[in-house]
Amino acid sequence: MDQETIERFSDHMQRTGGLTAEEFEQIAHLLRSVRFTKGAVVLEPGSVCNHAFHVTHGLLRVAALDRDGNEHIVQFAPEGWYASDRSSMYFQEPSRLRIDAIEDTAAVMVGQDFVDAACAVSPKFAKSNTTLLHNHIRHMQDRIALLLGARAEERYQKFIAMYPDLTLRVPQRMIASYLGITPESLSRVRRDLAERNFRPRV
């Protein structure tokens, strides 16, 4: 039953979810912990997403598949983050996203029943949940603006600034996929940046 994973989630709830340790205890039985080995599929596209996965160790990725079968990474979920398809969860529609593990990962499965129970137990939780939603929206808005308005190089620089840790953990081809370019292009972008930084004038 992986007690440590649940405890970490409890800590997280107390820090950012507005639940006290006692409130958490009351509803902890609604949670399950899971482990995924590197490469394991967490959510199969076409199935309904019934849980948000809160990562306590490791790294998940969320990817959309276009009709040519190419993967486009929508989000990375390292420790402390959630991976899920909110639309699929809310509307109970089959998801068009795939979630899988980039590293060996431990996560907590958070279902609607837990969220409802937590909202009932604590108004603070309800509020932090709404804040989470709005953070998600803000993040997507920024991403859209970036995809519309910035070139590959700028997108990459923003990525590094925003997720410096991920830049080290995630293979470059996946960063490229997140940025909407090919691995080859990312490689060239990196080379150009390195040249400009280390030999400003030749």
Q: Which residues bind DNA (CB under 7 A)?
A: 151-153, 171-173, 180-191
Whichever of 89 and 174 has its CB closer to DNA, that residue is 174
Asked whether 73 and 177 are in contact (CB, 8 A), the reply is yes
Closest separation in Å from C-beta 196 to a copy of itself: 19
Contact partner at residue 86 from a copy of itself, DNA, none, CB < 5 to 8 Å by partner kind: a copy of itself
Task: Give SS3 for 65.
Answer: strand
Closest separation in Å from C-beta 26 to DNA: 42
How many C-beta atoms surround the C-beta of residue 186 within 10 A?
23
Distance from C-alpha of 120 to C-alpha of 64, rounded to nearest angstrom: 34
Closest separation in Å from C-beta 124 to a copy of itself: 16
Alpha helices in the chain (DSSP H): 3-12, 21-27, 86-91, 112-121, 123-149, 152-162, 164-169, 172-179, 183-198
What would the two tokens of residue 28 be?
Answer: 């902890």
The residues that touch a copy of itself, with contacts defined as CB under 8 A, are 64, 66, 68, 70, 72, 74, 86-87, 90-91, 96, 130-131, 133-134, 136-138, 140-141, 143-145, 147-150, 180
Contact partner at residue 90 from a copy of itself, DNA, none, CB < 5 to 8 Å by partner kind: a copy of itself
Whichever of 95 and 105 has its CB closer to DNA, that residue is 105
